[in-house]
Amino acid sequence: MNYRHSFHAGNFADLVKHALVLWLLKARQAQRDTVTVLDTHAGAGLYDLSGDAVRSREAEAGVARLMQAEGLPPLIEALATEVRAVNPNGGVRFYPGSPLLIAHHLRPDDRYGGFDISGDVASLLVEALRRHPNASGRPGDGFKAVLAETTAGPADLVLIDPPFEQPDDYWRTADTTLAILKVRRDATIAIWTPLKDLETFDGFLRRLGTAHPAVVAEVRLRPLINPMKMNGCAMVVVNPPAGTDEAAAEICGWVAGTLGEEGQKSEVWRL
């Protein structure tokens, strides 16, 4: 499964990830005077849905339906507000990725650092963050770069969202998480994964282990019967702030209940 950010921008999995990331940022800000956010696979920061996303049509079944919905729960409405902000003329042409969503909510002493292994994508990231002086984007292997950053300085919230195109992405994600926690035991680490088959996901969770508390939030739009199609996704939050279970349940319940098909499911549980 090819998971280019631009191809899948604004799909149901983005809604789950970004609504929860927004909440996690605010939760960490409530705990600390300054917050440092690091992002291993930042992407371009802002996506034009009239580009690659047209071919996948996933945004039509994701953010487009979000913006047409009424009576949104608060944490979903918070994401809808961000989407409106990047579409001042109405419609849903543009969709903000994690870097821009976070940058919009950084306080003067907060910091965001995002990485992307593609030089071209990193250039787009730099441009997307140009108006945010305490947010930066750089090219590089995000796994290695974020681990180096956490070793050298603070890390309050770490986002890990690889494309899962390489066979070792799951293992590198788990191993990088554990390595970060060795030097920053109190860091909150938010990991996004596709749900392609439960055997792969369960293996990832076993590798991650249970040494640190973790919330697992799953959304399945349909039964997991085709491992080549993303029928679901999960967010694993290690060292979750108080209230994470409830926040994830609100987000996952709305996405599955509103965008799902027969056999849809949402579940939030602890490792």
The pLDDT of residue 53? 53
107 in helix, strand or coil? coil
Per-residue pLDDT, 4 = 53
Token output for 130: 């140009």
Nearest to 143 by CA among 46, 42, 7, 233: 42
Look at the chain and count its residues: 271
Asked if residue 18 belongs to a known ligand binding site, the reply is: yes
116 annotated as a binding-site residue: yes
pLDDT value of residue 128: 96
User: Do the Cβ atoms of 49 and 59 come closer than 8 Å?
Assistant: yes
**246-250 long-range contacts, Cβ below 8 Å, gap at least 24?**
247/20, 247/23, 247/24, 247/27, 247/75, 248/20, 248/215, 248/217, 249/217, 250/73, 250/74, 250/75, 250/76
Domains and CATH numbers, the chain: 5-270 (3.40.50.150)
Amino acid letter, residue 110: D
pLDDT of residue 5: 63
Closest CA to 182 of 155, 161, 207, 222: 155
**What DSSP assignment string belongs to 195-252?**
ES-HHHHHHHHHHH-SSS-EEEEEEESS-S--TTS--EEEEEEESPPTTHHHHHHHHH
Q: Are 237 and 189 in contact, with CB atoms under 8 Å apart?
A: yes
Q: What is the chain's alpha carbon radius of gyration, rounded to the nearest angstrom?
A: 17
Partners of residue 65 on adjacent β-strands? none
161 is in an annotated binding site: yes
pLDDT along the chain (271 residues), means of 10: 62 97 98 98 93 69 94 98 96 96 98 95 96 96 97 96 89 97 97 91 95 97 81 96 98 97 94 92
106, HSE (Cβ side, Cα atoms, 13 Å): 25
202 among annotated binding-site residues = no
Assigned token pair, 38: 């690091």
Question: pTM for the complete prediction?
Answer: 0.94
- pLDDT value, residue 2: 38
Q: Catalytic residues, which ones?
A: 161
Amino acid at 46: L
Would the annotation count 104 as a binding residue? no
* Residue 197, annotated as binding a ligand: no
